[in-house]
Structure 1
Amino acid sequence: MYKFLLTLVVAITICIPSIANAGFGTGIGITFPVSGSGSSVPNTNCNYAAIQFDNIIQELTVEKRNGTLFMELKVTNSGDLPYSMSHRDGQLYDFVITDKNGEKLWQWSDNMVFTQALTSSSIDVHSFAVYKVELDSKIFQKIKDSAILVTAYMLDTPYKLSTKVPTWTAANGTPIFIHGGIILGN
């Protein structure tokens, strides 16, 4: 009986077409986290963006701390000549927060009055200027669920710098990931 079963298994194995196949190629695995994990823990409490043009470096830092949003625009002159800007009025810079559709939720200069005269500002050689804005926690609480992007810029210059509003995710749970792959070849 044992001999018969062994013969039967071998015969079936030979007669059934192979299910597996082989080929040459390569694969790339990709994993994306799509959830956090159950209590409020900062995922990123600080975001940063920078741009350099000629000898000028602009850096935008946005930090969420204790329910308040802190924004800082730092403009550095790394050149050997002073960096001068002419302005249409007394306002030198601005910060804007927008939603996912690009609609303005908040702007630092709203409801402010500035000198209505031509002005100029300059940054000395190998020096920098820092412009800081703090968004009050009461105002931030009203817009935080819709706020996506912070944009900062020096007025009367062609450059604007944007970064995402820092986000919060859940903790103490099971993270969820989407895993996929790209197969190249056969």
Structure 2
Amino acid sequence: MTITPTRLSGCYILDPKVIQDARGYFMESFNEKTFREATGEAVHFVQDNQSFSSRGVLRGLHYQTGEHAQAKLVRVLQGEVLDIAVDIRPESETYGQYVAELLSAENQKQLFIPRGFAHGFLVLSETATFFYKCDNFYNKESEGGIIYNDPSLAIDWKLEASELLISEKDQFLPTLDKARKIW
């Protein structure tokens, strides 16, 4: 597995070694020891989540606050998404900046998103099955969010606004400057 840092501290792209033959493929999608040795980050996942969405579905930008903050390891089991991680750590040199990564069943890439980041994704294929591991349990009272089209973030979502399918809840999230603080 190749683990590559992004331009945002603590955020990594994981590119697993995929072994293919006539029967299909095999890959190790995560190894805690390998990850810790490559990044210096100790992470222990406690919850797995999966969603299925159609083209144009945009989920995010979401995060958990305080003691319920979550690190995530995200990947696509079927289809293709544009995955976004936004640094919302107030003390960070890259506060308010984001990374965008194309994740697909074909490329098998994963994105590790540390605590202190907002996360969202947009489905680019006809459908997509999205899977992610969390290092902390979900807590409804600790939900935070940022509107997907916040002008201060200027995220290029790759689709026109008229093509996006966004939940009512996500349509009314605040901008970064008005969002709940992470800590």
TM > 0.5 fold call? no
Q: Which has the larger radius of gyration?
A: 1
Give the structure with the higher percent strand: 1
TM-score by length of 1: 0.25
